[in-house]
Amino acid sequence: MIRSLIIGTGSHVPPRVLKNQDLEKMVDTSDEWIIARTGIKERRIADGETTNDIAAKAAKNALKAAGVSPKEIDLIVAGTVTPDMLFPSTACFVQSHIGASRGIAAFDVSAACSGFLYALDAADKYIRSGASKKALVIGVDLFSKIVDWKDRNTCVLFGDGAGAVVLSAEKGKRGILSTHIHADGHYWKTLYTPLSLCSSPLHDKTPERSYMKMQGNELFKVAVRTMGEACQEALDHNGLRAEDISLLIPHQANMRIIKATAERLGLPEEKVYINLDRYGNTSAGSIPLALDEAVKKDMIKKGDIILFVAFGGGLTWASAIVRW
Ligand code: UT7
């Protein structure tokens, strides 16, 4: 059976750090409130680097770790909701930035914070069908571009970053065991960003700057429920129990959501990867960034079962289980 094996991981975050204390000077908030309600201490903010730059750096790092030349990649899928342009896609820009071959497939998926797992799901299906042999999957978001930095309800939560993995079609028991993706558009109003464009030959309107909008409380409840259900679905599908999980790598949105998900599974703290305190919520970047850190820290061994779970705007939610 052909499976997608993760043969390399990479990430990139902008160097500029924005601490909770910096936010205290911008909005009516406090370090204590942010840490108590979210677990976040600082986040990275792009200062000159674009979504394409950050995605390409993460991609290059993943290719280097995999020992794969950009010319060997036949598919690039990027999860992002903060592209530099409506089109071309971020995946096309990455193709050109890293020097991948001309004529390969490259496209973006829009699933907000679930974007990386949606992209992984798509790439895995190309690999298992035989349509791709080596795929590059990226999760990247620069929410600093769409956050209202005067809104304390949202600006304390997000940061910029990207992660990437190289998938290789391999025979055997290792690799991606399952992916599950879900959506419920009825909840769209809990998290969205309107488009600032309104060009028309019929009326003359100046577009207003539009920011991300969020109903934090409502989202919190749905997140706790869907993350728990998504984990259980992934375990049941593979005939696994929570004890079989070596490491849970959840979307890094809020410490309380992560803890509730782990508690529901009965997973001890040491089996849950958390870097939210240093990066905040990097949306589609969050899971591959956390994975890359866990790999670099030697926290993952060959044969380990890794569970990924995310939720985000759409609403969307998703899971993946990998035998490393
Ligand atoms: O990837 C998906 C992205 N989004 C999320 O994951 C968000 C999910 N939701 C959350 O993480 C939480 O709902 C928040 C962290 C956004 C908010 O935490 P909460 O415990 O649900 O707080 P709350 O919204 O109920 O607000 C409690 C109080 C309010 O004041 P009053 O009405 O009780 O006087 C807020 O105005 O905290 C106030 N507040 C703040 N105070 C200081 C809201 N934001 C801040 C802030 N600093 N930054």
Instruction: Give the model confidence (pLDDT) of 272-308 as tens digits.
Output: 999 999 999 999 999 999 999 999 999 999 999 999 9
Residue from 254, 255, 259, 279 whose mutation best tests the ligand 1 pocket (most atoms within 8 A of CB): 254
Q: For the whole prediction, is pTM greater than 0.95?
A: yes
Is 277 within 8 Å of 254 (Cβ atoms)?
Answer: no
Instruction: State yes or no: pLDDT of 87 exceeds 90.
Output: yes
CATH classification code of 2-174: 3.40.47.10
Which residue in the block uniquely carries the two structure tokens 């940061």? 159
b/e 133-150 (16+ beta carbons within 10 angstroms → b): bbbbbbbbbbbbbbbeee
Question: C-alpha angle 134/296/114, rounded to 5°?
Answer: 60
Q: Are 42 and 20 in contact (CB under 8 A)?
A: yes
Distance CA 196, CA 163 (A): 27
- The residues that bridge with 214 in the sheet, in sequence order, are 191
Backbone angles phi, psi at 277, to 5 degrees: -60, -30
Listed residue (177, 168, 89) closest to 135, CA to CA: 168
Confidence of residue 224 (pLDDT cuts 50, 70, 90): very high
Tokens describing residue 53: 């730059």
Residue of 92, 113, 155, 231 marked catalytic: 113
Residues 6+ apart with CB under 8 A from 306: 245, 246, 247, 248, 249, 291, 300, 321, 322, 324
Mean pLDDT, residues 198-210: 78
CA gap 182, 265 in Å, rounded: 20
Name the closest-CA residue to atom 17, ligand 1. 216
The CATH number of domain 177-323, selected from 3.40.47.10, 3.40.50.11900, 3.40.1280.10, 3.30.70.20:
3.40.47.10
Tell me if residue 281 is catalytic: yes
CA angle 55, 61, 106 (to 5 degrees): 45
pLDDT over 90 percentage in the chain: 95
Which pLDDT value is given to residue 197? 74
254 C-beta closer than 6 A to ligand 1: yes
The answer to whether the bond into 136 is cis (omega within 30° of 0) is no
Place of tokens 């908030």: 29
Q: Name residue, tokens 């000159």.
A: 48
* Cα-based distances in Å from 305 to 43, 128, 182, 282: 29, 19, 22, 24
For range 82-108, the mean pLDDT: 98
The response to whether residue 223 sits with its C-beta less than 6 Å from ligand 1 reads: yes
Residue 215 near ligand 1, beta carbon < 6 Å = no
What percentage of the chain reaches a pLDDT higher than 70? Answer: 100
pLDDT at residue 47, as a whole number: 97
- Residue 14 pLDDT greater than 90, yes or no: yes
* Whether residue 180 lies in the annotated active site: no
- Distance from C-alpha of 78 to C-alpha of 81, rounded to nearest angstrom: 10
pLDDT at residue 207, rounded to an integer: 74
Residue 321: φ, ψ to 5°? -120, 135
Q: Coil, strand or helix: which one is 205?
A: coil
Strand runs labelled E in the chain: 2-12, 17-19, 42-44, 75-79, 105-109, 134-142, 160-171, 175-183, 191-192, 213-214, 247-250, 305-312, 316-323
Report the separation in Å between the CA atom of 217 and the middle of ligand 1, taken as the mean of its atom positions: 7
> What is the average pLDDT across 149-157?
97
- Region 74-90: mean pLDDT is 98
What pLDDT shows up at residue 234? Answer: 98
Q: Catalytic site residue 20?
A: no
Burial 100-125 (b: 16+ CB within 10 A, else e): beeebbbebbebbbbbbbbbbbbbbe
pLDDT of residue 74: 98
User: According to the model, what pLDDT value does residue 203 have?
Assistant: 77
pLDDT at 202 (0 to 100): 82
The active-site residue, picked from 52, 182, 251, 254, is 251
Instruction: Let me know if the fold of 2-174 is the same as that of 177-323.
Output: yes
Q: Give the residue extent of every domain in the chain.
A: 2-174, 177-323
Is residue 70's pLDDT more than 80? Answer: yes
Phi, psi of 305, deg, nearest 5: -100, 120
Confidence grade of residue 205 (pLDDT, cut at 50, 70, 90): confident
State how beta strands 105-109 and 75-79 pair: parallel
Confidence of residue 195 (pLDDT cuts 50, 70, 90): confident
Average pLDDT, rounded, for the chain: 96
If you average pLDDT over residues 141-160, what whole number do you get?
A: 97
